[in-house]
Amino acid sequence: MKKALVYCSKGLGDGLIFLVISNNLSKNGYKVDTFHPFLSELNGWFKYTEIKPYPEIETNFEFLNDYDLLVINSDYNELNKLLVNHAKNNHLEKTYELHPSACKGRNPPKGDLKFNSDLTVKENLAIFCENDLNLLNVFFSNDITIPTHLKYRKFKKRIVLHPTSNNVERNWPKEKFLKLARKLKKDGYEPSFILAPHEKKYFGNSVDIDIPNFNNLEEMASFIHESAFFIGNDSGVAHLASALKIPTLTVFSTKRKQKFWRPSFHIDETIVSWPLINIKGLRLREKYWKKTISVKRVLKGFDKLIKKFENYESSDL
């Protein structure tokens, strides 16, 4: 059996999306190892691949010799750059470097695939599996397997809110998230903020909205899977909710990012800032996009998401 390595960038969303490649390789006869710094906490949720932690930065990368195919999601991390350089210098004939990016100026896309910015990253990767890897049976899913003890959308009024991301410029204001949570609570919902341990003081010392504690990614994924809806920033947690088939509403700063990075494993809705003039050097979009998205707009988007999901459920009966 041929062996393939899929090396994901460190973000949660990157890992979940690149598992689409791992899934397709597995379904087409490969034994697949997937590398990611912490997704191994969900190893039991992906039956078709073993998720391994990153190698040590001092490694000589000899382990790459064991694989017939190398697919590397490149980024600007030092270990990642060393790995890409070694693979291209020593295994060029079996190496694909993929660098998805919606940027046209800073950090533009590079590597062995010309991404179509009018399609989601997930769709681009599925097309890559068909056109470049020549796989016969191609799927758009990362085929996550939920543990049987969990009940899908068990808490019909619980809404997961994710007010952060790994880039503060992508975050809708925390004051608006808090106002949204209180409005949802007043309307009979049960909002919960998901925050990393180092973000626990994001809203200050006291807040009237539930903030659950999780010991690992598996506990967080279990909580999301048993919740009814997700509302959050453009982030890896949004992609996790989507992969878990939770109806997802995501806030985006630009239409370009929305088209490319939209969580699209399941029913979703998006809120995008109004178009803003971009004058070189002034960074107007980065400074003012948040002002164009009100709590009222997000609530309208949530109503649309509910209707979309209800129509999906009724058509699936």
* DSSP per residue, the chain: --EEEEE--SSHHHHHHHHHHHHHHHHTT-EEEEE-SSGGGGGGG-TTEEEEPPPPTT---GGGGG-SEEEEE--S-HHHHHHHHHHHHH-GGGEEEEE----SSSS--EES----TTS-HHHHHHHHHHHTS--SS--S-------TTS-TT-EEEEEEEE---S-GGGPPPHHHHHHHHHHHHHTT-EEEE---GGGTTTT-S--SSB----SSHHHHHHHHHTEEEEEEESSHHHHHHHHTT--EEEEES-HHHHHHH---SSSEEEEEPPP----TTT-HHHHHGGGG--HHHHHHHHHHHHHHHHHHHHHT-
User: What pLDDT does residue 277 have?
Assistant: 59
User: What pLDDT does residue 274 have?
Assistant: 86
User: What pLDDT does residue 111 have?
Assistant: 84
pLDDT-derived band at 107, boundaries 50, 70, 90: low
User: What pLDDT does residue 209 have?
Assistant: 93
The stretch 178-182 carries a mean pLDDT of 97
Tens-place pLDDT, residues 201-255: 899 877 899 999 999 999 999 999 999 999 999 999 999 999 999 999 999 999 9
For 99-113, b/e burial (b = at least 16 CB within 10 A) is: bbbbeeeeeebebeb
- What is the share, in percent, of the chain residues with pLDDT greater than 70? 93
User: What pLDDT does residue 205 have?
Assistant: 79
pLDDT-derived band at 61, boundaries 50, 70, 90: very high
Structure tokens at 301: 């988007």
pLDDT-derived band at 8, boundaries 50, 70, 90: very high
Check pLDDT > 60 for residue 281.
no
pLDDT-derived band at 60, boundaries 50, 70, 90: very high
Domains and CATH numbers, the chain: 3-131 (3.40.50.720), 155-315 (3.40.50.2000)
User: What pLDDT does residue 89 have?
Assistant: 97
User: What pLDDT does residue 286 have?
Assistant: 63
User: What pLDDT does residue 246 have?
Assistant: 98
Check pLDDT > 80 for residue 288.
no
Query: Among 140-149, 164-173, 241-250, whose mean pLDDT is lowest?
Result: 164-173
User: What pLDDT does residue 104 have?
Assistant: 65
User: What pLDDT does residue 299 have?
Assistant: 98
Task: Determine contact, residues 11/236, Cβ cutoff 8 Å.
Answer: yes
Query: Among 45-59, 253-267, 303-317, whose mean pLDDT is lowest?
Result: 303-317
User: What pLDDT does residue 284 have?
Assistant: 54
Q: Which amino acid is at 120?
A: T
User: What pLDDT does residue 109 have?
Assistant: 60
Q: CB within 8 A of 184, min separation 6: which ones? A: 159, 191, 302
The stretch 71-94 carries a mean pLDDT of 96
